[in-house]
Amino acid sequence: RIPAGLNNIVGLKPTVGALSAAGVVPACRTLDCVSVFALTVDDAYSVFRAAAAKDDADPYSRVIAAPSLGPRPPVVSVGVPAKTDRQFFGDAAMQAGFETALRTLE
């Protein structure tokens, strides 16, 4: 979830119906879902596993499998657009920020 990533937390957006939306004021009932924000992926998934259950008060609620997380990969791969494909449209600060982020990832 993008807002989470910009605030040094993680966001987990489950599929519609995985977490009950009973009592939530909908923006678009067929697309809305309750999200989880936490400090770590493990914490977010723990909340998801605890809350994922069928709720008869929510017509979109359904049973969703929530198995344990598997092992983390030994190496993380990050896709980066080729230099020729990067377009910042004159925004030098955005370009500098992007390049700094790439150096941090390296």
Please tell me whether residues 82 and 62 are part of one structural domain.
Answer: no
- pLDDT of 76 > 90? The answer is no
Neighbour tally for 87: CB within 10 Å? 9
Distance CA 36, CA 10 (A): 8
Residue 95 domain boundaries = 77-106
When divided into structural domains, the chain yields a total of 2
- pLDDT of 100 > 90? The answer is yes
Residue 85 lies inside a defined structural domain of this protein: yes
Place of tokens 């993380």: 76
- pLDDT of 7 > 60? The answer is yes
Phi, psi of 10 (to 5 degrees): -115, 150
Residue 71 lies inside a defined structural domain of this protein: no
- pLDDT of 1 > 80? The answer is no
- Confidence (pLDDT) at 2: 63
Q: What is the mean pLDDT of residues 80-88?
A: 95
Please tell me whether residues 48 and 3 are part of one structural domain.
Answer: yes
pLDDT tens digits, 13-23: 999 999 999 99
Residue 46 lies inside a defined structural domain of this protein: yes
Please tell me whether residues 5 and 42 are part of one structural domain.
Answer: yes
Please tell me whether residues 49 and 82 are part of one structural domain.
Answer: no
